[in-house]
Amino acid sequence: GDSVTQMEGPVTLSEEAFLTINCTYTATGYPSLFWYVQYPGEGLQLLLKATKADDKGSNKGFEATYRKETTSFHLEKGSVQVSDSAVYFCALSDYSGAGSYQLTFGKGTKLSVIP
């Protein structure tokens, strides 16, 4: 089946550092790709998405580009803040038949930003 592989964490960065979290996927079709963020004690929140090749999703200074040729969707931010400390999940939409889709998630990457 389809799957998502994320870089293992935890990742610790100083404030204002550049962030990259790698994500690659395996899919038989052409999935939509997503990044979700989970703050401590909360549910997952949609951060950004891209629905076709070469699309760039962006939100709150985070960006990710859907690269079909490398089956990747790496998350980047130019200058992280302490408030960005969270767990980040890469996900793809997975067709399960009967017209239904579910999201398949990577294992998550924990980011800690220190002042």
Partner 1 sequence: DSGVTQTPKHLITATGQRVTLRCSPRSGDLSVYWYQQSLDQGLQFLIQYYNGEERAKGNILERFSAQQFPDLHSELNLSSLELGDSALYFCASNPVVDANYGYTFGSGTRLTVV
Name the site residues for partner 1 (rule: CB under 8 A): 31-32, 34, 36, 41-46, 49, 51, 89, 93, 95-108
Cα 38 from Cα 43, distance rounded (Å): 6
In what helix (H) or strand (E) does residue 95 lie, and over which residues does it extend? strand 86-97
We find the least distance from the C-beta atom of residue 91 to partner 1, in angstroms, to be 8
In the bound state with partner 1, the residue whose beta carbon lies nearer, of 74 and 106, is 106
Minimum distance between the CB of residue 74 and partner 1, rounded to whole angstroms? 18
Alpha carbon separation from 77 to 28, 102, 107, 112 (Å, rounded): 29, 27, 20, 14
Please say which residue, 80 or 108, places its beta carbon nearer to partner 1: 108
- 56/114 with CB nearer partner 1: 56
Tell which residue, 102, 107, 103, 70, has the closest CA to residue 88.
107
Could you tell me the smallest distance in angstroms from the CB atom of residue 17 to partner 1?
A: 26
